[in-house]
């Protein structure tokens, strides 16, 4: 990810509704959610939701997939990881291992005790 892409992604997320949409899609996982469900859950009118999804899509943070008469949106986890990597690549004076423990701790708090961070799995 380059600086231009990072600015676009951060700019798209720097709005309350879009951040809520993205967080809900991250929570939904790769299956994503139908646009109608997002609209209902977030209490956002469909036309407003469409505008925000377009902004997230232009920033490459979400993908859309039509199924029958519905459109399902999913967070682009690869792009999310690229953004996180971009933000932390120069962490701790070039010693990313120091920052990794902070990220792993944050993930552990979110993912629960049954999910071990990738670096822990590699050591086993």
Q: Which residues of the chain have pLDDT under 50?
A: 112-124
Contact 60, 76 (CB under 8 A): yes
Judgement on whether residues 69 and 101 belong to the same structural domain of the protein: no
Q: Tell me, what CATH number does 67's domain have?
A: 1.10.10.10
Q: What is the pLDDT of residue 119?
A: 42
> What is the C-alpha to C-alpha distance for residues 54 and 30, in angstroms, rounded to an integer?
19
Q: Is 22 exposed, middle or buried (0-12, 13-18, 19+ CB in 10 A)?
A: buried
Q: What is the pLDDT of residue 33?
A: 96
Has residue 49 been placed in a domain?
yes
Judgement on whether residues 56 and 8 belong to the same structural domain of the protein: yes
Judgement on whether residues 71 and 116 belong to the same structural domain of the protein: no
Q: What is the pLDDT of residue 55?
A: 97
Judgement on whether residues 9 and 67 belong to the same structural domain of the protein: yes
Has residue 111 been placed in a domain?
yes
Judgement on whether residues 56 and 108 belong to the same structural domain of the protein: no
Has residue 59 been placed in a domain?
yes
Q: Kindly provide the b/e burial profile for residues 59-87, where b requires at least 16 CB atoms within 10 angstroms of the residue's own CB.
A: bbbbbeeeeeeeebbbbbeebbebbeebe
DSSP H/E element including 88: helix 77-88
Judgement on whether residues 70 and 111 belong to the same structural domain of the protein: no
Q: What is the pLDDT of residue 112?
A: 45
DSSP H/E element including 77: helix 77-88
> What is the C-alpha to C-alpha distance for residues 22 and 1, in angstroms, rounded to an integer?
19
pTM of the model: 0.77
Q: What is the pLDDT of residue 70?
A: 93
Judgement on whether residues 55 and 8 belong to the same structural domain of the protein: yes
Has residue 83 been placed in a domain?
no
Judgement on whether residues 18 and 72 belong to the same structural domain of the protein: yes
Q: Which domain holds residue 95?
A: 90-123
Q: What is the pLDDT of residue 106?
A: 54
pLDDT one-digit tens code per residue, 80-114: 988 988 887 777 666 656 666 655 655 555 554 44
> What is the C-alpha to C-alpha distance for residues 49 and 72, in angstroms, rounded to an integer?
13
Q: What is the pLDDT of residue 114?
A: 46
């Amino acid at each position: 990810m380059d600086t231009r892409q990072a600015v676009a992604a951060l700019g798209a997320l720097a709005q309350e509704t879009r951040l809520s949409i993205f967080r809900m899609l991250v929570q939904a996982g790769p299956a994503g959610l139908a646009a109608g469900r997002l609209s209902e859950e977030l209490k956002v009118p469909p036309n407003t939701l469409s505008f925000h999804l377009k902004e997230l899509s232009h920033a490459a943070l979400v993908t859309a997939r039509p199924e029958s008469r519905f459109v399902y949106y999913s967070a682009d986890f690869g792009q999310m990881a690229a953004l996180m990597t971009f933000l932390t690549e120069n962490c701790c004076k070039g010693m990313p291992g120091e920052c990794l423990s902070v990220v792993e701790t944050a993930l552990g708090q979110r993912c629960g005790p049954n999910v071990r961070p990738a670096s822990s799995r590699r050591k086993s």
